[in-house]
Structure 1
């Protein structure tokens, strides 16, 4: 595999990010192209892409706030986002299927956590499906319990990481 690098997303990344999001998430679980573009434009600091020399192979994005409500669907459109907020809410951690099961999500998480610490954020929150709890636990996220969110008609679990 060619050399990997991280950077903040730019608006011209929207098509590739949407392609990855659509391949990796089922149906309504995937963010729309418009939401992805909004996230890049609104908070590029919290939208990190992982790329090899050829293409973007994964990304992680978030918003920040001082009032975390993980079941709030409006926050996925960054309603209530405050760049100065001390709490980070992750919206997507996604890797192109052809690069999955090769440690790419862990690399993204490690880089993302490092960047959020550098920004002096105090905690990272996310919701995930059951099969991803071990991935996040490996990065010291703590399971908070079942979420009230029914995003995409699925069952979710809330997790957090104190920074």
Structure 2
């Protein structure tokens, strides 16, 4: 069976504001092992230096995941429920259900250094997290979110090419390459978004090996 579709969910994408970083962090620590999850400080840093590369995926509260809704088991609704179902934002009508966050690098391969820094003049986009709240997983959201993210990166290039760049939302340089590392079982997911497998990564982050994948925004 294929991955359930997103046609019953109205997904809204926009750059994630500083006020929602803590919401992204709650999803991050719920979905990644402790050895792999980014710290709140890292997410705050990435949003502050590269806000144009932190994309949030939102749904309206009335358009929630199928199955149990928050509060269906009674009045008690703990933090774990929120992590599973999505994170309510300042707009009470919507939930943050996923996000992709990156920084830029001048390197052409992912390294520990490129994963912990940001080079505003770098043409490589280093994706650090692709995360979907548990209650919304296996519905095609990760693939849809990645495709929306790549479209966003291409739009940044169009802005740069036309020299109509807003300094607050883009680096102003042309982005050429998108890199990420994934565990073996997720290679197929990113292949659906046209990422190509480069091989096993030299990055060690947690106990399991990582594989590096690439998407070219501009042909060399």
Q: TM-score range by the shorter chain?
A: over 0.9
Deviation at 1:76, TM superposition (A): 2.9
Q: Which residue of 1 aligns with 2:43?
A: 36
Once residues 120 and 16 of structure 2 are traced to their aligned partners in structure 1, the CA distance between those partners, rounded to angstroms, is 16
Q: Do the aligned residues in 2 keep the contact of 1:48 with 1:61 (CA within 8 Å)?
A: yes
Give yes or no for the alignment of 1:105 onto 2:142.
Answer: yes
Deviation per residue, 1:70-99 (Å, 9 max, x gap): 131x33332xx2233211110000000110
Q: Secondary structure at the match of 1:153?
A: coil
Query: How does 1:15-94 map onto structure 2 within 5 Å?
Result: 15-53=22-60, 54-72=94-112, 74-78=113-117, 81-94=118-131
Deviation at 1:61, TM superposition (A): 0.6
Q: Which residue of 1 aligns with 2:203?
A: 149
Structure 1, unmatched stretches of 5+, are: none
- Cα-Cα RMSD: 1.4
Deviation per residue, 1:96-135 (Å, 9 max, x gap): 0110000110111011101111222111111000111001
Distance 1:84 1:2, change over 3 A: same
Q: Secondary structure at the match of 2:108?
A: coil
Higher helix share: 1
Q: Do the aligned residues in 1 keep the contact of 2:115 with 2:126 (CA within 8 Å)?
A: no
Once residues 137 and 64 of structure 1 are traced to their aligned partners in structure 2, the CA distance between those partners, rounded to angstroms, is 22
Runs of 4+ in 1 over 6 A off after TM superposition: none
TM-score (norm 1): 0.92
Deviation at 1:2, TM superposition (A): 5.2
Q: Do the aligned residues in 1 keep the contact of 2:105 with 2:114 (CA within 8 Å)?
A: no
Once residues 206 and 42 of structure 2 are traced to their aligned partners in structure 1, the CA distance between those partners, rounded to angstroms, is 15
TM-score (norm 2): 0.69
Structure 2, unmatched stretches of 5+, are: 1-7, 61-93, 158-174
Once residues 200 and 49 of structure 2 are traced to their aligned partners in structure 1, the CA distance between those partners, rounded to angstroms, is 29
